[in-house]
Homo-oligomer: A and B are copies of this chain.
Amino acid sequence: MKNAKTTLSKLVEIALRRYEMIAPGDKILIAVSGGKDSSCMAWDLASKRAWWDTPFEIAACHVATDLAEEGYANPVDDSWISARMAEWGIPYERIDVPVANRLKPGETMNCYWCATQRRTELMKYAQERGFNKLALGHHLDDILETLFMNMMKKGEFATMPPVMPYKKYPLTVIRPLALCEERQIIACAEELDFRSSTCTCSFNLNGERNKTKRLIDRITGGSSHVKRTIFASMSRVRTDYLA
């Protein structure tokens, strides 16, 4: 196994164990976009399934939208996803959600709307088919970006947690890539010969998240050590030393 693949595999293992993401008999639905993050995650979970301490099931689902037809994004190559899932032995289904068409008159497309629509459909799909976990491909940089956006825009110390049980549904979101940096995922995707790892949606390329990404690059100087130190502060909140 090459270097970047090993690194990703180890970091996912550490995350799965540290945050107790997998329990015996779990039925895990993997959300696959066709991008590098969720593709690497699906590849790694498929290989872990063979040797993990306790048995778990996986399947994958791709939420296709009407964003391409509506001119917001390039079309997603679903056949590529489908072929990879078959190769890795992951049962796969595609569902179509008319995200743009669901907008009411006067409403405009935005990332929050699109993400919420897709998440809701995934949750519905997962519950109807008896999945108890939903695996999302957010990585360490995503989590730090959300942390800073919440601090700077909402005045909250909060982010996308590695494990998040829904209170109202028998479903838990897990983020197995929580300890992987984006650069590590890109390297892994290259070793796996995945095609272009760029986002298929061009709607919000210069949006808030990208501004925050550049901000964090400046803050950390790109240092993994500093990023992981900031990440650690999320689990070391000293309430006696806050306002």
Contact = CB atoms under 8 A, between A and B. Distances in A.
B240 A161 contact: yes
Interface string A171-199: 00000001000000000000000000000
A157 B157 contact: yes
Contact of A152 (B156, B164, B230, B242): B230
B233 A155 contact: yes
A233 B152 CA distance: 8
A47 interface: no
Contact of A242 (B153, B219, B234, B238): B234
Contact of A243 (B156, B231, B239, B243): B231
A50 interface: no
A242 B147 CA distance: 9
State which size class the interface on A falls in.
35 or more
A241 interface: yes
Contacts of A152: 219-220, 226, 229-230
A137 interface: no
Nearest to A163: B243
A202 interface: no
A59 B159 CA distance: 44
What is the count of identical protomers in the complex? 2
B233 A151 contact: yes
Contact of A235 (B153, B229, B243): B243
A232 interface: yes
A16 interface: no
Contacts of A240: 161, 164
Contacts of A235: 242-243
A155 B230 contact: yes
A235 B243 CA distance: 5
Interface in A209-243: 215, 218-220, 226, 228-243
B237 A161 contact: no
Contacts of A21: none
A19 B242 CA distance: 11
A99 interface: no
A54 to B, nearest CB: 23
Interface string A137-162: 00000010000001111111111111
A241 B160 contact: yes
A233 B161 contact: no
A226 B242 CA distance: 18
